Structure 1
Amino acid sequence: MSTRAAISSDSFFIAGGTLRRDAACYVARAADEDLYSALHRGAICYVLTSRQMGKSSLMVRTAARLREEGFSITVLDLTGLGQNLSSEQWYNGLLERIAQQLELEDELEEFWFDHKHIGAMQRWMAALREVVLPRCPGKIVIFVDEIDSVRSLPFSADEFFAGIRELYNRRTHDAELNRLTFCLLGVATPSDLIRDTRTTPFNIGHRIQLTDFTEHDAAPLCEGLSANPDTARRLLKRVLHWTGGHPYLTQRLCLTLAQERASTPAAVDRICQELFLSQRARQHDDNLTFVRERILRSEVDAISLLTLYANIWSGKRVRDDETDPLISVLRLSGITRSHSGTVEVRNRVYRHTFDREWVQTNLPGAEVRRQRAAYLRGLKLAMAIAVPLILGIAVYAYLSVYRVKTTIEPYRAKAPEPPVFWASFTPPSAVAAETGALLVKSSEGNALVFINDREYGRTSHSGTLLLQVLQPGKYTVRVEKPQFQSVVQTAEVLANKETQLLFKLQKQIVLSTALAVRQGVPGAKISIDAVDVGTVQPDGTFSADVRPGMHALTFAKDGYLSRQINQEFLLGKQVVLDGQLRPDVELQNWLALANSHDPSALEAYLRTYPSGRFADQARARGEELEWNTLRNTRDLVALDRFLNKYPQGRYNSAARALAARLQQEEFDWRTAHNGKDPGALQAFLKTYPESPYVEDARAELRKLQTVSTAAAPVHSDDAQAVRATLMRFSQAFTQKDANQLAAVWPSLHKQELNKIRTSFRDAESIQMDLKFSDPQIDGAHATVTCLRSLQYIFKGGIRKSESSTVTIQLGKQAGQWMIESVQ
């Protein structure tokens, strides 16, 4: 309950507010045992009913019982989280409250910030599974109170309910989840909270029915009414006569009876009249105000709703249909209840307060009818006063004129000079001639007057305008005013006479129809034919007048996917549209990853949205992160993989330069190592002081300095011949000459040679560069370490480059050096 608590002097009765577990006035109902038993066996429960029915008190009492049996209990009041939140803030707020109540602040906070790469809802569910369940032995119940407040969130809460359902469904695979369950409480219907029946938890949950007090249920209240048991029973019976057992109305009436020491049923009637049935009570009582506002400000059609309620009030049989939105509004307001399959007014307090007159008063157009009736009453009174007065003035005027005519020579007045504006388009001769006057009387003041399509002036506030100088003749007179229909009349002006014209202006009839938006996202902008017409209200509604015809409507808000609708509007018919928007999940996922340092998370995002709006940014971010891990690497394989992955990337040039340096270093090391030349090793150490081969180079250098070796002399002619063979090998690729390649490499397998022939035909050009060290010649065998660079250019300008360090083995056959292998 949301109203303030009022506690009697002896603290027995409490009217409004959540009752303490030990409150003496708590009335146990069948729902108490039903909820306790269902949660005990692990069922998901929901208590959805009108306000001030005892939902929160039931929750407190049940939570205390379960806590005494070793259950871990958390209570989440969603109104305390606020409404102007992002989904990230909202789910974090839920987890913070769970952490405080279960004393898991550090663990859950660490988990939340360590898993920012996943969505807020998934993070919340994962925290329950991976932190709360392992650290809380026994069963866990999460009470979610004021669940209807999710309808005011700026994002859809459908995934919250879908998550609860998923936790339930996973019980078949994860037995630990049998220890976790939920209880949802609020003022809503399941369809108000989530529309997709495939993901709603309500069709798998257990519904708890909160009913009004029966006389048997309410018997404990007698203790606080009177020390005399008979008197207490009579008072309670009369209380229930009025309240029908409604929890708040019953407690409130009993509280006042106890305070005033009432002892008779008549006193109950008097106090009930003061508390609920008086005009002041109707305007100020919290419960009556809620019922009234819930009905008059609902999202359904007001006329249909009030007409249905009038039928129920009159005793007509109306079937209780839970799928009917009108009946759902009446039920959640608390004004009606179901009885034997039909709907009836809940109690006599409501029946007297919200009667037929109240319905008529609040029907659309009632204010207009009230003003019209007041106007007619005022008009009758004014006429009753004015008619005798007008008759008296008329008689006096007639007698005065008669005396003047019989005593004074008639005097013909000279026609007045026309106003400057009128004279500006009136011929000078017309002023001197005999003229007439025209008096224009309009039902509206400040209206424009046109004579023969020429503007003359405006009527006064009282609606009159006198044209004193007009040539005798016929004139076309037009009177106009914005938002009124113009009226045209013909007037004949006679010399030396005043002609009067009466104009009654009518409001323009705007041919339009009405647009009504329901369940929209608060703050969403609505445009019609690319023209902004307003934003959705905090309660999710919007209305506007629209001209008949086909129109393009757009609903848009940051964080949501825009929605466009082509809708035909027919004159006189209201168009009701569902204003829900789907959250922009791609945007939310990208915002969660925009500052991520996890390349795998970005790759997962790209697999989900390979052509998404942020795919290029994700690839650029992924390349940056990978390059940051490779910029100091010595792994040529990783660099080659990076270059193939980002061939046109931002760091492509830097990666190629690093690969070239590493290949050159590798080539220089092999050359120095295989050459057994102290000078070459010293040059390598000077050039590459940070090389991983530094220790090997120093060890090899020490070995050469301490061990003298008699190296076989290398004939300069053989070294020159080896270099010539390598040059022919390189030219064979550059010239795409497979025969020359076979000549210098006769042991090349025929199948491999055919593959090379095919690559020669496919490429428009090939360039091979070989950088080789001095040959190591041992008799008829030679070994050369080379840095080989190959570049292919195919049709269409497609390029392919390869760089690697290779070892070429050569053999001397019949005085000629031939290639034996390339590794």
Structure 2
Amino acid sequence: FCYILNSRQMGKSSLMVRMMHHFNHEGYHCGAIDLTRIGDENVTIEQWYKGLAVDLLYSFDLLTTVNLKAWWNDRLDISPLQRFDRFLQDILLVELNNNENQPPKKVFIFIDEIDSILGLKIPVDSFFALIRSCYNQRMIDPKSRYQHLTFALFGVATPSELMTDIRRTPFNIGQAIQLESFKRHEAQPLLFGIAEKVSNPQTVLQEILNWTGGQPFLTQKLCRLIRNSKIPIPVNGETEWIENLVQEKILKNWETQDEPEHLKTIRDRILYSPNKTQLLTIYQQLWEQKEIVSVDIAVQKELCLSGLAIKQNGLLKIHNRIYELIFNRRWIEYNLGSLIDN
């Protein structure tokens, strides 16, 4: 069991797709669920668990193999959670490894947008407890079918938001995977898209990273703006040229130019949070001091999940220069002032 919980547009879904392609190539079974498709805030617990089962059958191409409706209705005397547990053991893991002449293959279930459960009215702690139970069964019974099953969760939330009961949480036994910004060597492939536009590609790349801090979405967006620009980049004038491009295409009237939406997503995660006063206050401190000591508190974690800040070497920092210029002193004071006025 592993989980990747990070801010939006850091490459979580892209990583999931690449992992699935890799595991499929290795001969393993992979299926993915996007939880935003399972139901809205009015979904019942019965519909939610059955929706998980339907999507898993579809993802693993087993929909025509199993009469899920009949199987599910034959077990109405047990809870939806128990039915889903039996579905995993008796249907999914059996059908995927039904060739007795071959050893069982590993099965990977990728669950994307895991944070969407926070908007549901049904209790979901038991779902995470089930993931922990699957892990425990592997320890208890070496012959358990769960030996072959691995869950991978992706989303924008903290473990404590998703599961409040620390006695049953799977997050203290799972493997956390941290996604970080592009390092210079990791961003080298992006140069292929702009190579014909620039004379000093490494200089240009460094200037891009100086602005974006390696944030994947912004880094790729700036590369795309460079490629599409009709203004030539002067040799030895890359710094000024890129600064002008950032000013004109990203910073100027940023709310209008923010397509696909990125900066507005960060803004909204701050301003529509129930903790916006604390978030703005700690961000004001961070903006003025440039870095503050990283502390394991909820408000710092939420600020990092917004994407606005990152933790590096025990310090909290603003993620990049673009964020610092857009979410500046004027923006902070305006929004803090609005809270005071209200």
> Do these two structures clear the TM 0.5 threshold for a shared fold by scoring above it?
yes
**1:183 partner SS:** strand
Letter of the aligned partner of 1:107 in structure 2? V
Asked if 1:309 corresponds to 2:266, the answer is no
Structure with greater strand percent: 1
Cα distance in structure 2, aligned partners of 1:203 and 1:366: 37
Could you list the per-position Cα deviations for residues 185-223 of structure 1 after superposition, in whole angstroms to 9, with x for gaps in the alignment?
Answer: 000000111101111111100001100001111011111
Unaligned runs of 5+ in 1: 1-43, 370-823
Kindly tell me: are residues 126 and 366 of structure 1, through their superposed partners in 2, closer, same or farther at Cα, counting changes over 3 Å? closer
**2:167 partner SS:** coil
Query: Offset of 1:259 from its aligned partner?
Result: 1.1
1:76 equivalent in structure 2: 33
2:115 equivalent in structure 1: 148
Could you list the per-position Cα deviations for residues 734-755 of structure 1 after superposition, in whole angstroms to 9, with x for gaps in the alignment?
Answer: xxxxxxxxxxxxxxxxxxxxxx
Query: Offset of 1:173 from its aligned partner?
Result: 3.0
Cα distance in structure 1, aligned partners of 2:254 and 2:155: 29
2:95 equivalent in structure 1: 135
Query: Offset of 1:364 from its aligned partner?
Result: 4.2
1:117 equivalent in structure 2: 77
Query: Offset of 1:228 from its aligned partner?
Result: 7.0
Asked if 1:173 corresponds to 2:146, the answer is no
Cα distance in structure 2, aligned partners of 1:79 and 1:100: 16
User: Of residues 42, 60, 69 in structure 2, which corresponds to 1:102?
Assistant: 60
Superposition pairs of residues 700-739 of structure 1, within 5 angstroms? none
Kindly tell me: are residues 64 and 215 of structure 1, through their superposed partners in 2, closer, same or farther at Cα, counting changes over 3 Å? same
Query: Offset of 1:250 from its aligned partner?
Result: 0.6
Kindly tell me: are residues 317 and 350 of structure 1, through their superposed partners in 2, closer, same or farther at Cα, counting changes over 3 Å? closer
1:288 equivalent in structure 2: 263
Could you list the per-position Cα deviations for residues 44-77 of structure 1 after superposition, in whole angstroms to 9, with x for gaps in the alignment?
Answer: 0100000000000000001100011111111000
Letter of the aligned partner of 1:306 in structure 2? L
Cα distance in structure 2, aligned partners of 1:149 and 1:200: 18
Could you list the per-position Cα deviations for residues 562-597 of structure 1 after superposition, in whole angstroms to 9, with x for gaps in the alignment?
Answer: xxxxxxxxxxxxxxxxxxxxxxxxxxxxxxxxxxxx
Asked if 1:270 corresponds to 2:244, the answer is yes
**2:111 partner SS:** strand
Kindly tell me: are residues 167 and 329 of structure 1, through their superposed partners in 2, closer, same or farther at Cα, counting changes over 3 Å? same
Unaligned runs of 5+ in 2: 98-104
1:182 equivalent in structure 2: 151
Could you list the per-position Cα deviations for residues 794-817 of structure 1 after superposition, in whole angstroms to 9, with x for gaps in the alignment?
Answer: xxxxxxxxxxxxxxxxxxxxxxxx
**1:227 partner SS:** helix
Kindly tell me: are residues 252 and 316 of structure 1, through their superposed partners in 2, closer, same or farther at Cα, counting changes over 3 Å? closer
Cα distance in structure 1, aligned partners of 2:148 and 2:56: 16
Percent identity for Structure 1 against Structure 2 = 38
Letter of the aligned partner of 1:82 in structure 2? G
1:212 equivalent in structure 2: 181
Could you list the per-position Cα deviations for residues 319-338 of structure 1 after superposition, in whole angstroms to 9, with x for gaps in the alignment?
Answer: 2223x111011100000001
Query: Offset of 1:102 from its aligned partner?
Result: 2.0
Kindly tell me: are residues 69 and 316 of structure 1, through their superposed partners in 2, closer, same or farther at Cα, counting changes over 3 Å? closer
Asked if 1:202 corresponds to 2:176, the answer is no
Cα distance in structure 2, aligned partners of 1:103 and 1:352: 48
Asked if 1:162 corresponds to 2:120, the answer is no
Cα distance in structure 2, aligned partners of 1:88 and 1:275: 48
Structure with more contact order per residue of length (Cα contacts < 8 Å, sep ≥ 6):
2
Structure with greater helix percent: 2
Asked if 1:279 corresponds to 2:291, the answer is no
Letter of the aligned partner of 1:71 in structure 2? Y
User: Of residues 192, 195, 203 in structure 2, which corresponds to 1:223?
Assistant: 192
Could you list the per-position Cα deviations for residues 304-361 of structure 1 after superposition, in whole angstroms to 9, with x for gaps in the alignment?
Answer: 3212111111126522223x11101110000000111010000000010011111100
**2:151 partner SS:** strand
2:44 equivalent in structure 1: 86
Could you list the per-position Cα deviations for residues 210-262 of structure 1 after superposition, in whole angstroms to 9, with x for gaps in the alignment?
Answer: 00001111011111112377522222111111000000001111111101155
1:243–1:348 Cα contact (<8 Å) kept: yes
2:290–2:318 Cα contact (<8 Å) kept: no
Larger radius of gyration: 1
User: Of residues 329, 336, 339 in structure 2, which corresponds to 1:356?
Assistant: 329
Cα distance in structure 2, aligned partners of 1:108 and 1:145: 26
Query: Offset of 1:268 from its aligned partner?
Result: 1.6
Query: Offset of 1:86 from its aligned partner?
Result: 0.3
2:197–2:227 Cα contact (<8 Å) kept: no
Query: Offset of 1:82 from its aligned partner?
Result: 2.3
Letter of the aligned partner of 2:79 in structure 1? G
2:101 equivalent in structure 1: none
Kindly tell me: are residues 108 and 58 of structure 1, through their superposed partners in 2, closer, same or farther at Cα, counting changes over 3 Å? farther
1:45–1:184 Cα contact (<8 Å) kept: yes
Superposition pairs of residues 378-777 of structure 1, within 5 angstroms? none
Query: Offset of 1:276 from its aligned partner?
Result: 2.3
